[in-house]
Amino acid sequence: TYAVQLASALGAEVTGVASGAKADHVRAAGASRVIDHRTEDPTRDAAVYDVIIDLVAAQSLTALTRILAPRGTLVLSAGTGSRTFGPLPRMAAATLRSPFTRRRLKPLAAKHRGDDLDEVRAFAEAGRLRPVVDEVFPLERGPEALARLASGSVRGKVAIRIRPDAQADAASGAAASAAASDRAGG
């Protein structure tokens, strides 16, 4: 959701990939078009994309580069692999392949630059970047929260409230919970 919101706020024309049930959610985040991955193969799309951000690794690198513009960028943050190495083999393959193509294939790596963070903060303050929290669970229901997240039906983030007496502002609490969920792989 953040990737769609941020790209839209930066002026990009965004095509999202989601199930039909989540299409409205992705459009509300800023996508002008949504491809239903359950009925359509997004890598067989006639469109060519300047940037592809792959957050779920449902398609091969070869398939993704097929719809990537000749000087486009593919950003990877997930991948299939062994229990031990997780997405690392896929990201390493992209990194090794990148010098031999005009396209840029790169793993998602956070670089904290003050100017970028100031711009993100400005988008958030203007309401153009908002946390989307599907459900908030108390700490003692943590396993239920993780099961909800694993169900694949979540729209946004699942948050776990650590302190039962915390009555913080919903927006700031949701933002902190969403960030924690992102760090935990949610």
Closest by CA to 146, choosing from 133, 162, 155, 157, is 157
pLDDT in tens, 106-139: 777 767 788 888 988 999 999 888 888 999 999 9
Check whether residue 82 and residue 49 sit in a common domain: yes
Domain-embedded: residue 168: yes
Q: Which of 73, 107, 141 is the last residue of a domain?
A: 107
**Per-residue pLDDT averaged across 146-162, rounded?**
89
Check whether residue 94 and residue 138 sit in a common domain: no
Q: Which of 72, 92, 107 is the last residue of a domain?
A: 107
Domain count for the chain: 2
Check whether residue 165 and residue 76 sit in a common domain: no
Check whether residue 98 and residue 17 sit in a common domain: yes
pLDDT in tens, 70-82: 999 988 887 666 6
Domain-embedded: residue 23: yes
Q: How close are the terminal C-alpha atoms of the chain, in Å?
A: 12
Check whether residue 6 and residue 69 sit in a common domain: yes
- Note down the domain range covering 175: 131-183
Check whether residue 12 and residue 45 sit in a common domain: yes
| Residues 98, 75 contacting (CB under 8 angstroms) | no
Q: What is the pLDDT of residue 82?
A: 65
pTM of structure: 0.72
Would you list the DSSP string of 83-146? Answer: TTTTTHHHHHHHHHHGGGSSSEEEE------HHHHHHHHHHHHTTSS---EEEEEEGGGHHHHH
Check whether residue 99 and residue 151 sit in a common domain: no
CATH number of the CATH domain containing 33: 3.40.50.720
**Per-residue pLDDT averaged across 27-55, rounded?**
92
Question: Would you say residue 161 has pLDDT above 60?
Answer: yes
Q: Which of 91, 107, 123 is the last residue of a domain?
A: 107
Domain-embedded: residue 39: yes
